[in-house]
Amino acid sequence: MNQSRPPIADSSLALLAKGYAWLPDRRRRTDAPLVRTRLMGQQAVALHGPEAVRFFYDERHVERRTALPGPVLSTLFGHGAVHTLDGRDHRVRKEMFLSLLTGAEAVAGLVDRVASEWDEAVESWPGRRVVLFDETSRILTKGVCQWAGLVVEDPGPLARDLVAMVDGFATPGPRHWRARRARARCEAWLGRLVEDVRTGAVAAPAGSVLEGVVRHRDADGGLLDPHTAAVELLNVIRPTVAVCWFVTYAGHALRRRPDLRERLLGDDPAHAVAFAHELRRFYPFAPFVGGRAVTDLEWQGEPIPSGTMVLLDLYGQNHDPALFKDPYAFEPQRFLARPPEGDELIPQGGGDRDTGHRCPGEDVTIALLRALGPRLARLEYDVPEQDLRIPLNRMPARVRSGFLMDVVRLPVPAHASARTAS
């Protein structure tokens, strides 16, 4: 590396101040093919673009095992999670998730369960104010737990804990400590459940996620210890509940673009899928993902020394005008003519789903949004005065008000002419 390069200031405070805009802003200010910076005192580079996705997810270049900060493991992913593994250990653990989350029958079963819970829940919405974010988190929690073989009498407290884990992973302060306490509670509960299943005190439904995780054998041939099994159970149900972010964004999008409601009411699966893709592209979710250079590397003529933190700019890539025309316009029809390429649209990360670190629950997210987007569009409701801003300096971002709905009317028929939600 060129030793004459001037020292680089640490950007940790700038990241907290700017949030999702930090990396895109840095990239616009340089002509280099990568951004050089420092985070938490460590040397870092940031990449973007489809070719960079392939470079980043090549385990010969970047590893994830040593790159995830302790605060993120203690809130979002859990210590010992599949996200912390590389090589054969990762592939064997990942196969468990793929078997549970990617088959057509498994995805359909989860979507049917959640859709049924949604249809039942909306019956209670008329006559009261509804916070879409909160209601959807409870619906998703109840649906995914039933599907996974977990008995939960009251989904409310668990939904709050699962939301807290996502809401507090990227920030210091009270949200972070709520996330840590939530994870500790859930890991303790699920760890006890794993032990009870193994001793025969509790029966896991045949073919369920619970049975799959409890009986899974890792690359060394051994069962997961109860704590790690609890972590991986959470890594099935927590991301499913995080879809409440996107459902709330759907409410926000339909408020801003009421013309899109008519298209969703047409009961056309292609429109529903395009709407789901555009929700995931347009609205902020994960700002970036990180790994560590396993050896001295070079990216488009720029050296990356071994041990450097390597960031992949997710939000910036999803808003790159070279990949998406008018990237700051919400236009689902962009995905009608051409479905997104795997290395272009990366709201939940990229790479190969089967062998790499790409999120195995991506199919579930799209399928849930395909089912719930039209259901939300079929509701009629008033939108009271509220704060609908989505601050990009809050990570993870979310609609400030949670999207309040008043005077909810039960769904109109799927093919009926839609009245714009007021």
> pLDDT per residue over 44-99, tens digit each?
999 999 999 999 999 899 987 777 778 788 888 888 888 778 889 888 988 888 88
Task: Flag whether 4 is in a domain.
Answer: no
Predicted confidence band of residue 169 (pLDDT cuts 50, 70, 90): confident
Which of helix, strand or coil describes residue 406? Answer: strand
Q: How large is the average pLDDT for residues 4-23?
A: 86
Task: Flag whether 417 is in a domain.
Answer: no
Find out whether 288 and 313 touch, Cβ atoms under 8 Å.
yes
C-alpha closest to that of 396 among 165, 69, 155: 165
Task: Flag whether 261 is in a domain.
Answer: yes
Question: Is the per-residue pLDDT at 334 higher than 80?
Answer: yes
Question: Is the per-residue pLDDT at 220 higher than 70?
Answer: yes
Find out whether 349 and 357 touch, Cβ atoms under 8 Å.
yes
Give the pLDDT confidence of 14-23 residue by residue, as tens digits: 999 999 999 9
pLDDT cut 90: percent of the chain above it: 74
Find out whether 316 and 27 touch, Cβ atoms under 8 Å.
yes
Task: Flag whether 100 is in a domain.
Answer: yes
Q: How large is the average pLDDT for residues 174-200?
A: 96
Give the pLDDT confidence of 24-42 residue by residue, as tens digits: 999 999 999 999 999 988 9
Amino acid letter, residue 380: E
* Model pTM score: 0.92
Q: Which domain holds residue 171?
A: 12-409
Give the pLDDT confidence of 402-422 residue by residue, as tens digits: 999 999 987 655 444 344 343
CATH number of the domain enclosing 258: 1.10.630.10
Report pLDDT for 341.
82
Residues 6+ apart with CB under 8 A from 332: 260, 263, 271, 274, 275, 277, 278
The tally of domains found in the chain comes to 1
- The DSSP call for residue 344 is T
Q: How large is the average pLDDT for residues 114-123?
A: 96
Q: How far apart are CA 9 and CA 337, in angstroms?
A: 44
Report pLDDT for 418.
40
75-84, 251-260, 370-379: the lowest-pLDDT one: 75-84
Report pLDDT for 413.
54
Report pLDDT for 356.
53
Predicted confidence band of residue 349 (pLDDT cuts 50, 70, 90): confident
Report pLDDT for 326.
96
Find out whether 255 and 248 touch, Cβ atoms under 8 Å.
no
Task: Flag whether 6 is in a domain.
Answer: no
Predicted confidence band of residue 110 (pLDDT cuts 50, 70, 90): very high
336-341 CB contacts, 8 Å cutoff, 24+ apart: 336/270, 336/271, 336/274, 339/277, 340/277, 340/281, 341/50
Q: How far apart are CA 114 and CA 370, in angstroms?
A: 12
Task: Flag whether 418 is in a domain.
Answer: no
CA-to-CA dists, residue 279 to 20, 96, 250, 274, 353, angstroms: 16, 28, 7, 9, 21
Task: Flag whether 20 is in a domain.
Answer: yes
Task: Flag whether 217 is in a domain.
Answer: yes
Give the pLDDT confidence of 132-166 residue by residue, as tens digits: 999 999 999 999 999 999 999 999 999 999 999 99
Report pLDDT for 9.
85
Question: Is the per-residue pLDDT at 103 higher than 80?
Answer: no
User: Mean pLDDT over all residues of the chain?
Assistant: 90
78-87, 200-209, 219-228, 240-249: the lowest-pLDDT one: 78-87
